[in-house]
């Protein structure tokens, strides 16, 4: 994404607590209206005097091209593909509420685009390169732009200073195919090398040991447990395990992701 020095970032809104390599090969996504309200409240509560959530983002979401997948800005045209991608036994999505059926997917996309318009998320469709099939969705969210003082080298930055990755889910056929690894490599590369963020964080259900282990394997640092943090897929007050990657750690994380990707 190109950012103008004169124009404030224009953006996007929804969530992502990435669960790289969870038992479903995807991340958590939130579908229900009350969850959306809870996330908006969470965003408001998390604001501090040192930073603010990005209120406006310039232009469109990025188009990120890989060998296996292409991450496209989420649009209404992706609805039918997402309906097909999610048409699996709902029990497969143990930790991640995923929309099933045309009505649910349409509402999912509508909400994602409304968050995009309000400036807190960059929703993306995951498209398989070999056949152009939509195989899932993901997004950047909780974009932060810090209030750097005048005279500071970072004053006037229009790109986010920090963000989360999450709301990632995949079709069963895309699980354990390298799609999730490459999607996260593309997103993290964009975050650290184009936006030049200082931190990317992830939240996963504390019970999801597979996801926690996968995040640790790529070099994300465990920061602790947030108690009763969000509503879980099974409708309880979920404890979340928080992980993060800071800019200084990105080269090693990138090396690990490339090594995993090259094993495919």
Q: Summarize pLDDT for 121-160 with one digit per residue, the tens.
A: 999 999 999 999 999 999 999 999 999 999 999 999 999 9
List, in order, residues 6 or more apart from 67 with CB less than 8 Å away. 129, 182
Q: Is pLDDT of 34 > 50?
A: no
What pLDDT sits at residue 221? 98
How far is the C-alpha of 184 from the C-alpha of 37, rounded, in Å?
A: 27
Mean pLDDT over the full length of the chain:
81
CA 199 to chain centre: 13
Q: How many residues in total does the chain contain?
A: 264
**How far apart are the C-alpha atoms of 45 and 171, rounded to whole Å?**
34
Predicted local confidence at residue 48, as pLDDT: 38
Between CA 232 and CA 212 the distance in angstroms is 16
| 147 touches 168 (CB < 8 A) | no
Mean pLDDT of the region 58-78: 88
Would you call 249 exposed, middle or buried from its count of C-beta atoms within 10 A (0-12, 13-18, 19+)? middle
Handedness of CA 187, 48, 58, 197 (dihedral sign): negative
Beta strands in the chain (DSSP E): 51-53, 64-65, 69-73, 121-128, 134-146, 162-170, 199-205, 221-231, 237-246
SS3 105: helix
Distance CA 65, CA 83 (A): 23
Residue 44 has a pLDDT of 39
Q: At 123, phi and psi to the nearest 5? A: -80, 140
Q: Give the model confidence (pLDDT) of 202-255 as tens digits.
A: 999 999 898 899 899 999 999 999 999 999 988 899 999 999 999 999 999 999
Higher pLDDT, 233 or 184: 184
């Amino acid at each position: 994404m190109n950012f103008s020095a004169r124009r404030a970032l224009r953006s996007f809104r929804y969530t992502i607590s990435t669960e790289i390599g969870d038992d479903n090969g995807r991340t958590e996504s939130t579908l229900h209206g009350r969850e959306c309200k809870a996330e908006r409240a969470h965003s408001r509560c998390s604001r501090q005097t040192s930073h603010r959530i990005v209120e406006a983002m310039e232009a469109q979401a990025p188009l990120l091209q890989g060998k296996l997948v292409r991450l496209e800005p989420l649009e209404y045209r992706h609805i039918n593909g997402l309906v097909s991608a999610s048409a699996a036994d709902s029990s497969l999505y143990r930790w991640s509420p995923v929309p099933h059926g045309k009505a649910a997917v349409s509402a999912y996309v509508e909400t994602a685009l409304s968050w995009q318009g309000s400036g807190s998320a960059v929703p993306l469709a995951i498209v398989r390169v070999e056949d152009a099939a939509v195989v899932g969705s993901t997004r950047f969210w909780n974009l932060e732009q810090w209030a750097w003082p005048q005279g500071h080298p970072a004053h006037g930055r229009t790109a986010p200073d920090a963000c989360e990755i999450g709301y990632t889910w995949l079709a069963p056929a895309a699980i354990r195919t390298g799609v999730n690894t490459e999607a996260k490599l593309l997103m993290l590369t964009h975050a650290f090398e184009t936006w030049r963020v200082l931190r990317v964080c992830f939240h996963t259900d504390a019970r999801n040991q597979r996801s926690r282990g996968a995040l640790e394997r790529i070099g994300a640092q465990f920061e602790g447990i947030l108690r009763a943090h969000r509503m879980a897929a099974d409708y309880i007050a979920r404890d979340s395990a928080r992980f993060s990657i800071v800019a200084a750690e990105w080269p090693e994380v990138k090396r690990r992701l490339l090594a995993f990707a090259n094993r495919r």
